Chains A and B, each alone.
Chain A
Amino acid sequence: MNAPLVVFFFLAAIAILGAISLILQRHPIHSALSLIVVMVALAGLYLLMGAEFVAAVQIIVYGGAIMVLFIFVIMLLNAGVEERTNMSKMAGWAGLPLAIALMGFLAAAVARSTDRVQAVAQSGATAPTKVVAGLLFQEFVYPFELTSFLILVAIIGAIVLAQREKQ
């Protein structure tokens, strides 16, 4: 049992606990905070794998911007504790087994294909930001420009949606 493995299991445990907390919390704000915990744990895992740039972006953008946005909206809408309605029979009965089956399938598929996937992912080989940037602006420049356009559209959409009705 070496150090990276311990760190991995620690971070994995945090991530899973955070996800479970997301499911079980009654107030949305608590769920949001649980999600932030998950994201931070994932950032740690990225670092463990040597993907520094991705880890940084995860914290800054995901944790710092998107989740803050979520919390703003929760506060704006004054979302309270969730009601206890249950109008969907199917979701109530079939949902859990199916989700577990999904998890199981994926996990099983992964676990059984160990011979196909190279057992790499060490903390040794880092991914230099320079190389990532190079890829981003050379091979993937077209999608990159498109995403900026996408953001523009999202901004306009958000503004239009949130406008107050004209009196």
Chain B
Amino acid sequence: MPILDNLWIIPLLPLLGSAINGLFGGKWPNNIVNSVAVGSTGLSFACALEAVREFSQLPPDQIPFVKQFFTWIAAGTFRAGFDLQVDQLTVVMLLVVTGVGWLIHIYATGYMAHEGGYYRFFSYLNLFMFFMLLLVLAANYVLLFVGWEGVGLCSYLLVGFYFLRKSAADAGKKAFIVNRIGDFGFMLGMFLLFKTFGTLDFVPMFAKAVPMPADAMGQMGTLTVACLLLFVGATGKSAQLPLYVWLPDAMEGPTPVSALIHAATMVTAGVYVVARSHVLFMRAPSAMLVVAIIGCATALFAATIGLVQTDIKKVLAYSTVSQLGYMFLACGVGAFSAGIFHLMTHAFFKALLFLAAGSVIHAMGGEQDMLKMGGLSKKIKWTYITMLTATLAIAGFPPLAGFFSKDAILLNAFQSENGGHFLYAVGLFTALLTSFYMFRLIFLTFFGKQRYDEHHVHVHESPKSMLVPLMILAVLSLVGGWLAAPAFWGAPDYFAKFLEPVFAQGGGAESAAAEAAAHALEMPLAIVAVITATLGLGIAYWLYISKPAKPAELAKSMKGAYTTLFHKYYVDELYAAVVVKPLLWLSTKVLWQTVDVRMIDGAVNGVAYGATEVGDNVRHAQSGNTRSYAVWVVIGALVVIAIVFWPYLKPAAVGMVR
């Protein structure tokens, strides 16, 4: 088993590429930097494929396959090793990360061709691949956390890639800091888990957790608290309420970065962690409910904001937040495989959407405002076709990928206890909004009047290096869902079956009656979903093609709602006032001016000042006058006499006092 025994090679290859490009790339021409970067990622993808092939030949008792390479931390009874593991969930994540990552690398060679700092970009991008692969291959929480932090770092580096622009630098800082807040929760969760189980390795921990009794709903038992803390980390990394604020700002980074990190891979790390920890979550129903509610709320919240945004990338950013909400909704109701399935299909069509948007921006010479586009469908045909495919997928039209994955989530939501119908209703409404704003994007960008000046903007189709990945992703968006399709006509859902050994361990297997009920509901719910998607398309068509003047009228008539949505519910302003400003005040007024300047500097300077003052005053004792010296001598003599004769003087002194 050459690859499986040397799993470390999969993350190492991009790390090597990053190091080589980082150290030497400054002097190299673009095509050498290309070959190193794309080559290392491609090789990593090939190794991943080989690893999957070897994995498929493993007997079931060797799954999950864990290989320990070296001990990183050994403290007392605690051991955290550089251990990598492969099971079915890892296979899915591995293929998505390496495959989509490789395609995006190829795209970036075309997109960034004329940018400065070319080698730096690919160095960072490869570094990101290294950390992300570490994250999905890790066999314990500690190594996973290394990858977790590392992708946060790379996100900061890449979002602030154009660091000379203040908004970009600020966005990078915001991403990292908000992530850090989530990481704090994640670490607390890890500590609690370590305290409870004594180990942070997945296989032993989950084996210990299986016989544990589940916490009752509403009880804040150990598992519930630990799961909630892990989820806090997930909200930071995967941009859920309330820590989603960094993702829209992260659009300051180059478009390939948005595609890779903020659509396909990094933001899905949170979902991956929740899925990986499903054994713990299944025993903490309160935590699952929180996950479901937050996922659902975020989906709706972000979709409403996306309705009125005019920057093409911002719309896609809010769409990402919304779709991640769906994934968490799935995990929250116990449909982990549905959540992972949506993760996979979302990686395909969201990466495609971002890359195509990048193609549009490239064609428009850097313009990102949709209100200044229009009528591009004939001019950049291939971009249009691929983007339309992705839009149909995300809206949930069959037989594209998005339909199957979203449908699975909504079905499981409908069937869940604890308000499943309400979650379903919100999810369905969000699907309507999703369809609407995505088609709004298509109509504003590709149809209608040409709202730009042809003399200033020379619209041209993108080079092949950018178009080929678009087409591959379009094909995947088309067929990616067919792994689960057979469930419709009674045959098993291949994807869920593939992941079953992973998720069955926690006791998530459904009873036969529930399965039958599920099948009965599937067809009607699927039809409702299709009707909803078509409705969204229809409304968008009506507003942006038939009556182009209507949106402006509506915006004026519903001014309050429109302004709130346009300004993203003023959440950033709220955070700035409630969190940032007090912190800044504290740092400036209290910690800096009071503690540092007045107390610490004051104490040190005060000592010096005091010494000077004392010296200044004491020097008068040295007057050169013999008579005053005589008085000092007498004083000294008095003191000595008093000390020596105290037993005899005491009664007198006491008598005098009285």
Contacts and interface: CB of A to CB of B under 8 A. Distances in A.
Interface in B600-658: 623, 625, 627-628, 630-631, 634-635, 637-638, 641-642, 645, 648-649, 651-652
- A interface majority secondary structure: helix
A112 B631 contact: no
A61 interface: no
Contacts of B628: 88-91
A99 B649 CA distance: 17
Contacts of A88: 623, 625, 627-628, 631
A16 interface: no
A90 B631 contact: yes
B625 A87 contact: yes
A78 interface: no
B625 A91 contact: yes
A95 B627 contact: yes
A139 to B, nearest CB: 27
A90 B634 CA distance: 12
A105 B631 contact: no
A102 B651 contact: no
Nearest to A106: B641
Contacts of A102: 634, 637-638, 641
B634 A109 contact: no
Contact of B649 (A91, A94, A105): A105
A108 B648 contact: yes
B67 to A, nearest CB: 88
A32 B652 CA distance: 37
Contacts of B635: 98
A91 B628 CA distance: 5
A101 interface: yes
Interface string A104-146: 0110110011000000000000000000000000000000000
A87 B627 CA distance: 9
A129 B558 CA distance: 130
B628 to A, nearest CB: 4
A95 B642 CA distance: 18
A101 B652 contact: no
Contacts of B648: 108-109, 112-113
A89 B620 CA distance: 11
A55 to B, nearest CB: 29
A112 B634 contact: no
B645 A109 contact: yes
A95 B637 CA distance: 13
B514 to A, nearest CB: 102
B625 A109 contact: no
B550 to A, nearest CB: 98
A20 to B, nearest CB: 18
Given A87-B625, A88-B625, A99-B634, A112 B641 contact: no
A108 B652 contact: yes
A95 B631 contact: yes
A84 B635 CA distance: 25
B631 A91 contact: yes
Contacts of B631: 88, 90-91, 94-95, 98
Interface string A73-104: 00000000000000111110011001101100
Contacts of A90: 627-628, 631
B442 to A, nearest CB: 98
B652 A112 contact: yes
A31 B637 CA distance: 25
A98 B651 contact: no
Nearest to B644: A109
Interface in B237-255: none
A109 B651 CA distance: 10
Contacts of A108: 648-649, 652
A95 B628 CA distance: 8
B658 to A, nearest CB: 16
Nearest to A113: B648
A109 B642 CA distance: 9
A105 B641 contact: yes
Nearest to A86: B627
Contacts of B652: 108, 112
A91 B638 contact: no
Contacts of A112: 648-649, 651-652
A89 B634 CA distance: 15
A163 B649 CA distance: 50
Interface string B150-174: 0000000000000000000000000
Nearest to A94: B631
Interface in A1-36: none
Contacts of A98: 631, 634-635, 638
Nearest to B652: A108
A54 B297 CA distance: 113
A111 to B, nearest CB: 9
Nearest to A89: B628
A91 B621 CA distance: 12
A99 to B, nearest CB: 6
A98 B638 CA distance: 8
A109 B640 CA distance: 13
Nearest to A91: B627
A29 to B, nearest CB: 22
Contacts of A101: 638
A89 B637 CA distance: 20
Nearest to B623: A88
B356 to A, nearest CB: 95
A11 B406 CA distance: 125
Contacts of B623: 88
Select the residue from A88, A89, A95, A101 with max chain B CB neighbours within 10 A: A88
A152 to B, nearest CB: 29
A87 B641 CA distance: 29
B580 to A, nearest CB: 62
Contacts of A87: 625
A163 to B, nearest CB: 25
A58 to B, nearest CB: 25
B627 A105 contact: no
A71 B200 CA distance: 102
B624 to A, nearest CB: 9
Nearest to A93: B631
A87 B623 CA distance: 10
Contacts of B625: 87-88, 91
A7 B637 CA distance: 32
A91 B651 CA distance: 30
Nearest to B641: A105
Nearest to B634: A98
* A-B CB proximity, top 7 nearest: A91-B627, A109-B645, A88-B625, A88-B628, A112-B648, A90-B628, A88-B627
28 contacts: A88-B627, A88-B631, A90-B627, A90-B628, A91-B628, A91-B630, A94-B631, A95-B627, A95-B630, A95-B631, A98-B631, A98-B634, A98-B635, A99-B634, A101-B638, A102-B634, A102-B637, A102-B638, A105-B638, A105-B649, A108-B648, A108-B649, A108-B652, A109-B641, A109-B649, A112-B649, A112-B651, A112-B652
Given A88-B628, A98-B631, 20 more contacts: A88-B623, A89-B628, A90-B631, A91-B630, A91-B631, A95-B630, A95-B631, A95-B634, A101-B638, A102-B634, A102-B637, A102-B641, A105-B641, A108-B648, A108-B649, A109-B641, A112-B648, A112-B649, A112-B652, A113-B648
